[in-house]
A and B are shown apart, each in its own frame.
Chain A
Amino acid sequence: MFGGIDYGVVERALPLLWQGMLFTLQLTGLSICGGVFFGTILALMRLSSFRSVSFFAASYVNFFRSLPLILVIFWFYFLVPKLLGRPIGGFYSVLIAFVMFEAAYYCEIIRAGIQSVTRTQVHAGYALGLTYGQTMRLIILPQAFRNMLPVLLTQSIIMFQDTSLVYVVGLKDFLTTADLISNRDNRPVELFVFAAIVYFIICLIGSNSARRLQRKYTI
């Protein structure tokens, strides 16, 4: 039906696909940084002894975890500029959507990581005269991050896969580029299979390193 397989199609498309991959990597990288940053703040809030603070953080996390990412992307892409009354650009709308969304997932991982450090260490920190900030920054968080590194990596691989959803708003990431070229050259089989292989290899390397980290770092 599609007249044999033509590998040349993919080869000719490589420069454009590479552009798409750069977009994907950029979006993934920035979203991970933002997600981990806000996720850490949310995790600290969730563990706070102030009821209202922890309640807010818990509600935030539960709310975002109950929504499909596509819906969150639509919200930020179409409607937030409408609500704000000014445009923030496609890339930034999507980036904010990913950071807000992933922060909820990272929060849970980081919270578990913090809880994996025994409580006595917090008391020891206070006993040494350290403030809350110092105890967290110097004692708890470094150990927590070490413990949760494999899970963080796993979540980041999921996040890398999730970036393909920007397809729904037409931003040119790796998958959208493959789709565009498959449309232009009428070669969906080659391009989608190629895209799948590329994602597979990257994610497989990622999940294997997560497993190796897990073995290495388990305390």
Chain B
Amino acid sequence: MIRTFRTALAAAAIVLAGALPALAQESPTLKKIKASGEISIGHREASVPFAFMDQAGKPQGYSVDLCLKIVDEVKKELNLPNLKVKFVAINAQTRIPLIANGTIDLECGSTTSNLTRAKQVDFLPVTFITGSKLLVKKGSGIKSLADMNGKRASVSSGTTNEKAFLAEVEKRKIKVETVMVKDHPQAMLNLESGRVDAYASDDVLLYGMISTAKDPGQWEVVGEFFSYDPYSLMIPRNDSEYRLLATRTISDLMRSGEMASIYNKWFNPGPTKINMPLSSDLKKAFEIQALPH
């Protein structure tokens, strides 16, 4: 009896699946997600407050929330309410290769959308705007890049800041010894232990680092911006259907104003007290990217 019922259910499911739009068949990513019943999300581990770990070791943050919104949309689209979410920890060096080779279907971190990277991956609408600055100890006497002569600085390998920093010091003929680090925490460690005098990274991430530092009062972000870094979530390249779905999700959030409330949840003041109210530029960016249906 139960068996017949199950068979009938299965048959119904097959019919329903057949009736679904052909989308899943056209999009390699959605097809893969459907076949495996699992979506792999790459997340950073210490990009506060975009993607970082809570006490239990689970990823959380602004970008993580946005990714989960896209997951909800994928669930709806594929009619898979029980879609499993697999979190894959990534860092600045692994994120692009892992999207490009298909290990992860979506990246939520703090990745600058730029044209070079767009040869490897696709970017969704811009969800944050920032640029490179320096993090230094208060009273270090460093007020801008020009004061870095003869000093030591850390940069994260695989970041746009690395390139921007190296290009800038070369252009300005500043003599700086650079120490490559794997991620922001290693840079913080280098700063705290006095190994380096400055860390070059995105302004917002530097404030994020200060907000989780042992003694936030000890640190300051200095100097003028020496790069422009608009952040976007990353998805695999050459997958228009999947890209449309994800873009639609983000646009909808921007139009409905939900984007602003997710923003406020993490930034104003946010769980780490980073305290960065929505800037007028970003507010405008949300409005402009809220494409109509």
- Chain A residues with CB under 8 Å of chain B are 1, 16, 19, 77-79, 81-82, 86-90, 169-172, 180, 183-184, 186, 188
- B101:A81 contact, CB within 8 angstroms: yes
Residues in B neighbouring A89, C-beta threshold 8 A: 103
> Are the C-beta atoms of B103 and A169 separated by less than 8 Å?
no
Interface on B for A, CB 8 Å cutoff? 45-46, 53, 57, 88-91, 94, 97-98, 100-103, 183, 185-186, 188-189, 192-193, 213-214
Whole-angstrom distance between the Cβ of A24 and the nearest chain B Cβ: 15
With A78-B97, A183-B185, A188-B189 as contacts: A170 and B102 at CB distance below 8 Å: no
In the bound complex, residues from chain A placing their C-beta under 8 Å from that of B94 are: 77-78, 169-170
CA A171 to CA B91, docked complex, whole Å: 10
Known contacts A82-B97, A183-B46, A183-B189; A16 and B90 CB within 8 A of each other: no
A184 — nearest CB in chain B belongs to which residue?
B53
User: B101–A78 contact, CB under 8 A?
Assistant: yes
Identity of the chain B residue whose Cβ is nearest the Cβ of A167 in the assembled complex: B182
CB distance from B180 to the nearest CB of A (A): 13
Tell me whether A86 and B102 are in contact (CB under 8 A).
yes
Q: Within 8 Å CB of B88, what residues of A?
A: 90
- What are 16 A-B contacts defined by CB distance under 8 Å? A1-B192, A16-B57, A78-B94, A78-B97, A78-B101, A81-B101, A87-B103, A90-B103, A169-B94, A170-B45, A171-B89, A180-B53, A184-B46, A186-B192, A186-B213, A186-B214
Distance in Å: Cβ of A108 to nearest Cβ of chain B: 32
| Shortest distance from the beta carbon of A92 to any chain B beta carbon, whole Å | 10
Q: Report the Cα distance A161→B99, complex, angstroms.
A: 29
Q: Which residues of chain A come closer than 8 Å to B102, judged between CB atoms?
A: 81, 86-87
Distance in Å from the Cβ of B236 to the closest Cβ of chain A? 10
Most chain A CB atoms below 10 A, which of B53, B57, B88, B98? B57
List, in ascending order, chain A residues with CB within 8 A of B183's CB.
183
What's the dominant secondary structure at chain A's contact region? helix
CB distance from A143 to the nearest CB of B (A): 44
Q: Roughly how many angstroms separate A200 CA and B94 CA in the complex, as a whole number?
A: 30
The smallest C-beta distance from B35 to any residue of chain A, in angstroms, reads 12
Given A16-B57, A82-B97, A188-B189: A170 and B89 interface contact (C-beta under 8 Å): yes
Report B114 CB to chain A, min CB distance, Å. 20
A186 to B102, CA, bound (A): 33
B189 lies within 8 A of A170 (CB): no
Complex interface: chain A residues within 8 A of B53 (CB): 180, 184
A82 touches B100 (CB 8 A): yes
Of A1, A16, A82, A186, which contacts B101 at CB under 8 A? A82
Report the bound CA distance from A138 to B98 in whole Å: 46
Contact of A81 among B103, B192, B213 (CB under 8 A): B103
Most A Cβ at <10 Å: residue of B94, B186, B188: B94
Which 6 residue pairs are nearest across A and B when measured between Cβ atoms? A183-B185, A81-B101, A87-B102, A87-B103, A78-B97, A82-B101
The answer to whether B101 touches A183, judged by C-beta atoms less than 8 angstroms apart, is: no
Cα distance, A165 to B53, chains bound together (Å): 22
B44's nearest neighbour on chain A, judged by CB, is A170
- The listed residue with most B CB atoms (<10 A of its CB), out of A86, A88, A90, A170, is A170
Residue in chain B with minimal CB distance to A82: B101
**How far apart are the CA atoms of A89 and B101 in the complex, in Å?**
10
In the bound complex, CA of A77 to CA of B94 (Å): 9
* Cα distance, A77 to B98, chains bound together (Å): 9
A141 to chain B, nearest CB (A): 38
Inter-chain pairs besides A87-B101, A180-B45, A186-B192, 6 sampled, C-beta below 8 Å? A1-B193, A78-B101, A82-B97, A170-B45, A180-B53, A186-B189
